[in-house]
Chains A and B, each alone.
Chain A
Amino acid sequence: MKISELMSEEDILFDLPCSDKNEVIKALTENLAAHGHLVSAQECLEDVLKREAEISTGLVGGIAIPHTRSRAVKESRVSIGRLTNVIPWETIDGSAVQVVILITVPESCQGEHLKILAALAERLMEEGVCEGLHTITEKHKIIELLEG
């Protein structure tokens, strides 16, 4: 299985005019709900923020990967929001964040989907991947980049 089974172009939002992490996670969860991937957008948002409060998911190079394994999620999904401006986020390298990868999986998620996410996590550690998430303008190429 591949990452393209967990994301399609409709899960990628460019030019989001959000000014903080709550706004961007809200925009992404509402987009997921609109496509029928959630049981409850509000509950999913709360669960993501709860996880975020435990340890910030800000990485390096202006990327953050908020995520949750929640009963508010119907189907596993990876969605991406790219912002018009950088926003404050507690990151490993102190950078502000412009690309947010939201990972939402149901509580019952296991097996193949978790393996895809593990592969995605490893992919994010490879050279050039985080840079590409900032610069690529075609959505299908973002999916190809994450697929490796």
Chain B
Amino acid sequence: MKFVAVCACPAGLMHTFMAAKGLKKEAKKGGDEIAVETQSASGIENEITPEELAAADAVILAIDTAISGMERFNGKPVVQVGTSTVLRNAKSVLDQARKAAKGE
């Protein structure tokens, strides 16, 4: 499947990037494609493109803080978790996203 994700945490220094890495590792393992945007102390990086969003089966938000651009995801299946959920069990997050994509 194809996913897009946004990661963000309060200080925007560490958890954002750990969660991003965790999602990418797990997606690769499961044979899924994922584009991960980070909103951190460095600002927005790897911003999800309209094409990536249009092609995505579901959206994963691994966030502990408010993010910008939530309205982009209107009408898409969205799975929202905290960054620590990704660090604890990235597979469960991808599984949730797969289910959401199928409308389960």
Contacts and interface: CB of A to CB of B under 8 A. Distances in A.
A binds B: yes
A-B pairs, top 6 by smallest CB distance, nearest first, are: A121-B17, A118-B17, A122-B21, A125-B21, A114-B42, A121-B14
Interface in A70-114: 92-93, 103, 105, 109-111, 114
Nearest to A107: B41
Contact of A54 (B10, B12, B20, B88): B10
Contact of B41 (A51, A54, A57, A69): A69
Interface string B25-44: 10000000000001011100
B18 to A, nearest CB: 5
Given A51-B10, A55-B9, A55-B82, 14 more contacts: A54-B10, A55-B64, A55-B84, A60-B87, A65-B14, A92-B88, A93-B88, A103-B14, A105-B41, A117-B13, A117-B17, A118-B40, A121-B18, A125-B18
Contacts of A103: 13-14
A67 B84 contact: no
Interface residues of B, number: 23
A115 interface: yes
B38 to A, nearest CB: 8
A55 B17 CA distance: 16
Contacts, number: 69
A58 B98 CA distance: 28
A93 B84 CA distance: 10
Given A92-B84, A125-B18, A114 B41 contact: yes
A105 B15 CA distance: 15
B22 interface: yes
Interface string B70-85: 0000000000001010
Nearest to A60: B87
B88 A118 contact: no
A67 B11 contact: yes
B89 to A, nearest CB: 9
Contacts of B41: 69, 105, 109-110, 114
Contacts of A7: none
A29 interface: no
A114 B11 contact: no
